[in-house]
Structure 1
Amino acid sequence: MNTKAVYAACLFAALNICTLSARAEADVTHQTYTYGTHLDIQKVLSMKQDASPACGIVNARMTYLDSQGKTRVLDYSKFADGCNEGN
């Protein structure tokens, strides 16, 4: 096999992975938390928040599986992790 064929195969594989990732993200349901929102959380997959060097309110995002096994994303506001230092 020549190098051009190997490079073409690698490029094709990379593009397929990107396409599958985009399709998977399209199936994810996004929701913004409001007081009283019913949450059906079976398993938390990841938690992220905006970077903040000081104490204050930041935007956060939790990705989780519900009881049906569907991936969901919840956007919410919280105190930055820096607020917990010294307590």
Structure 2
Amino acid sequence: MNTKAIYAACLFAALNICTLSARAEADVAPRTYTYGTQLDIRKVLSLTEDATPSCGVVNAQLTYLDSQSRTQVLDYRKFADNCNSQN
């Protein structure tokens, strides 16, 4: 077996793993954060927010693993990241 075939097989396997994890996250219904919500976060997988050209409050989403290694999604509101660069 030549090296190109081995590289292609490894790439194909990696893409399949990424696709399976994306499908698993898509099946999780997001919860909306409210003050006092008890969070059980073992590992943060991703942080996303709505794109906005100006400073202001935006919708954001936290995807994480809980202590049982289940994927959870939490919707919340926050100041946009670009507010940090403005005075």
TM-score (norm 2): 0.69
* Correspondences of 1:7-86 after superposition (within 5 Å): 22=23, 24=24, 25-26=26-27, 28-86=28-86
Aligned mates of 2:80, 2:66 — CA distance in 1: 26
CA RMSD of aligned residues (A): 1.8
TM-score (norm 1): 0.69
Which runs of 5 or more residues in structure 1 are unaligned? 1-16
Deviation per CA, 1:20-69: give whole Å up to 9, x if none.
554x222x242100000000000000010000110100000010000000
Structure 1: 4+ residue segments shifted above 2 A? none
Which runs of 5 or more residues in structure 2 are unaligned? 1-15
Letter in 1 for 2:38: H
Q: How many pairs are equivalent?
A: 68
